[in-house]
Amino acid sequence: GDSVTQMEGPVTLSEEAFLTINCTYTATGYPSLFWYVQYPGEGLQLLLKATKADDKGSNKGFEATYRKETTSFHLEKGSVQVSDSAVYFCALSGAGANSKLTFGKGITLSVRP
């Protein structure tokens, strides 16, 4: 079945540092790929998405590129802020009528001032 693997956490960075969070996936067909963010005590918010190979999703300074050849969708940000502290989830959804999301385990990012 479909699966998503995220790098182990937690990750602690200083403000303005460069961020990379690795994500790889296993899926049949051509899934859509997502990054969701969860702030403390809140539900999930969509951060960015890509629906086909070589697409780049971007939002709030975060970027991720859909790499079919390496089945990866790594999240990057050039300069993190304290307000980026949250849990980040990589996810995929299959094609067709059942658009369920399959999530990775998530990784906690803490940004120090």
Looking at 12, 16, 26, 46, which residue binds another protein (CB under 8 A)? 46
Collect all residues with Cβ–Cβ distance below 8 Å to 71 and sequence separation of at least 6. Answer: 24, 25, 26, 27
Of residues 105, 89, 99, the one with CA closest to residue 31:
99
Q: What distance in Å separates the CA atoms of residue 89 and residue 101, rounded to the nearest whole number?
A: 11
CB of 89 to another protein, least distance (A): 5
30 DSSP 8-state letter: -
Shortest distance in whole angstroms from residue 78 CB to another protein: 25
CA angle, corner 80, sides to 75 and 82, nearest 5? 125
- Does 45 sit near another protein (CB under 8 A)? yes
Q: Which of 43, 69, 70, 113 binds another protein (CB under 8 A)?
A: 43
31 binds another protein (CB under 8 A): no
Task: Report the interface residues with another protein, using CB under 8 A.
Answer: 4, 32, 36, 42-46, 49, 89, 91, 93, 97-106
